[in-house]
Amino acid sequence: MSVKKALITGAAGLIGKEALIPLQDAGFEVTALVRKAPNISGAQQGKDGSGVSYIECNLFDTATLKETFQKIQPKYLLHFAWAAKDDYLTSNINFNFLKASLDLLEFFRENGGKRAVFAGTGFEYEFKDEPLKETDPLKPATVYAMCKNYLRQIAQLYCAQNNLSFGWGRIFYVYGRGEYHKRLTSVIINNSVNNRETVINCGSLLRDYLYTKDIACAFVKFLESNIDGIANICSGKGITLADYALLIASKLGKTKYLKILNEDLKQPPIIVGDNKKLTEEIGYKIQYSYETAIDEILQEIK
């Protein structure tokens, strides 16, 4: 039986780290590109006890990137790496990731690659007050979303031109283990634990949050499939920011430190994705409820 070699970028990131075990359990031989290789632990091993092979590689180092693909020659590529902290929505680093992502695809093709799945964003869409479908109009409004959408356009064209299978997963709102301290979930948890007030300015906003473990597993299922094109990676339903914050604070017994407002900050009232393609065509079933996911996240701080 031939080995299914998969290369994953962003493997130490919020979502990427959760994809390592599912990839192995799906039968892939996994090589992870990271800026700095972590200490290997059992948590990174699949059911068969195998581990992940780490390669330290800066995606902006074109020469090393090219050498890596020549050495590994993966048939599958799962690309998560991108900036997602602080000023990432407007930063010029988005252009660097755009170029690096196209280099990835070129080196992948040159070395026998067959199927690539890249991470996009729900912010590529023009928002509306009902679930967003993959065929809906687009209106990316930030440098981040514009670069993601441009990458999707060029990558789809490149893959069609070169007989590569290509999938694009649009991620909506994310929460998970080890979040960056400025993200909403971490802010609520850290403030609650330290008896500090958290103010939710727009409690009525409805957002489509999905746990990072579900996102990672959905991408692995997408990679395994033969389905090309765009797929929303989302829960398919929304939760208000007020209810989301209350869920976390109540589990910590700190609701008195939560202040819910309903200010009008000119944000879309609803951002929810339609996930029928994910669940019905790709065949992924959401595994975690908000309750079980938050319980798992909070276990790490106890």
pLDDT at 50 over 90: no
Show the tokens assigned to 161. Answer: 């031109």
Largest CA-CA distance found in the chain, in angstroms, rounded = 59
164 and 109 in contact (C-beta within 8 Å)?
Answer: yes
**225 lies in some domain:** yes
pLDDT at 205 over 90: yes
Total domains, the chain: 1
Percent of the chain with pLDDT over 90: 90
pLDDT digits over 207-224, tens only? 999 999 999 999 999 999
Alpha carbon distance 162, 235 (integer Å): 33
Q: What is the pLDDT of residue 42?
A: 38
What is the average pLDDT value for the chain, to the nearest integer?
Answer: 94
45 and 24 in contact (C-beta within 8 Å)?
Answer: yes
**Where is average pLDDT lowest: 3-12, 47-56, 222-231?**
47-56
How does DSSP assign 218-259, residue by residue?
HHHHHHHS---EEEEES-SS-EEHHHHHHHHHHHTT-GGGEE
pLDDT at 38 over 90: no
pLDDT at 45 over 80: no
**191 lies in some domain:** no
Domain harbouring 138, CATH code = 3.40.50.720
**279 lies in some domain:** yes
Task: Report the pLDDT averaged over residues 45-53.
Answer: 61
**213 lies in some domain:** yes
**92 lies in some domain:** yes
pLDDT digits over 110-150, tens only? 999 999 999 999 999 999 999 999 999 999 999 999 999 99
**139 lies in some domain:** yes
pLDDT digits over 263-281, tens only? 877 899 999 999 999 999 9
**254 lies in some domain:** no
pLDDT digits over 81-97, tens only? 999 999 999 999 999 99
**Where is average pLDDT lowest: 47-51, 106-110, 285-289?**
47-51
Q: Which amino acid is at 60?
A: F
Q: What is the pLDDT of residue 37?
A: 74
pLDDT at 41 over 60: no
Q: State the residue range of the domain holding 275.
A: 4-175+209-236+271-287
Q: What is the pLDDT of residue 49?
A: 44
Show the tokens assigned to 41. Answer: 């632990």
Count the residues in the chain.
Answer: 302
**201 lies in some domain:** no
CA-CA distances (angstroms) from residue 40 to 44, 47, 196? 7, 15, 36
Q: Which amino acid is at 247?
A: L
